[in-house]
Amino acid sequence: MRFFTSFFYGIHPSKCYGYIVNIDPLLPPGKCVLNCPYCPLPIREVVGKGYGVRVNIDHFKSVLEKYGDVLAEVKRIRIWGFGDPFLVENLSELLMVLREYMRSRGIDGSLILHSSGLALHRMVETNTAELMDEVGVAFPWCIGEYPLHGFGGLINLLQSFPEKDKLIIEVLAYRRNSEIYPDPLMLQELSSCIKKTGVNRIRVKTLSRPPFNEELKPVSRRVLNDIVRRLEEDGFDVSTCNMDLPPLRSIKISGLLEVIYNHILRLPLSTRDILQVYGENGLIAVKNIVDEQKAVTRVWENTLFYRGIL
């Protein structure tokens, strides 16, 4: 049995957005150069800010047609995956095709893009912000020096972003043994850095699936609420990723084996995740993927997860 990588990788039960359709225009194995310790993706071939790839638009259109019913049902689409979407050289063309497809099918939904900040300068240069409803930017406060632009470079990019009201900065909290990150002093410094960007919206979240460095663990809701309170006191508009989702009503997805394989390549899924989104057929499919040695299982936080392998 052959497994193929695809732009479309299923419906994800996100604690930030609810159920959301994920599209990855970059495709594996290229990966963001940051290698953040909390990233769920393994360390593989990484790409820098000079990397670029062009998506075959006809191929992309065929994927939209294949999964159009799913997009129409969920109505919330996120562009993100194995690397920063801004590394796609014809991203603006791809987004225009997607917007036109949504318009033609009457899909009145939101289009969200997730960026590591790695290639955010390309959005500023190509003015693609107008094609999206939201751009989430992971603020890499916990990895030390930002390796390409320098941390100050990211702040300058966020300052120059053309439609700042569409930006939301993501702050990740986690623990390592008994230590909580960010601690109060780190949080104070972090707040000061974010203020310099001019961005007012912040999304606070913790780990919900095993990172590549499995020593890192999620923090409690109490800790998240405390971080939110402190940032709100500093004048930010803050939301928390803590949604508890009911099972998704059945949505028929063709090629379930391939879809789930592509899903767990990007984001590890628990047994509960799979049942929530894909039902019992999803569990059968993921066990077949493990049997074909295209996925491994991991127990993390007393929960069984599936992680795809290339």
Q: What is the pLDDT of residues 80-139, one digit of tens each?
A: 988 788 888 899 999 999 999 999 989 888 999 998 887 777 777 777 888 899 999 988
Within-domain flag for 2: no
With a cut of 70, say whether residue 282 has pLDDT above it. Answer: yes
State the Cα–Cα distance between residues 9 and 40, nearest whole angstrom. 15
Supply the CATH number for residue 152's domain.
3.20.20.70
Within-domain flag for 189: yes
Within-domain flag for 180: yes
Reported residue count of the chain is 310
Within-domain flag for 3: no
With a cut of 80, say whether residue 143 has pLDDT above it. Answer: no
Within-domain flag for 262: yes
Within-domain flag for 123: yes
With a cut of 70, say whether residue 48 has pLDDT above it. Answer: no
pLDDT attached to residue 151: 65
φ/ψ of residue 285, rounded to 5: -65, -45
Q: What are the tens digits of pLDDT across the range 69-85?
A: 999 999 899 999 887 88
pTM of the model: 0.90
- ∠ Cα 15 217 141 (to 5°): 80
Within-domain flag for 1: no
State the Cα–Cα distance between residues 297 and 209, nearest whole angstrom. 12
Who has greater pLDDT, 217 or 139?
217
Terminal CA-CA length for the chain: 14
CA–chain centroid gap for 27, Å, is 13
pLDDT attached to residue 114: 92
Question: How many domains would you assign to the chain?
Answer: 1
With a cut of 90, say whether residue 170 has pLDDT above it. Answer: yes
Range of the domain at 221: 8-308
Residues forming a β-bridge with 179: 176
Who has greater pLDDT, 109 or 291?
291
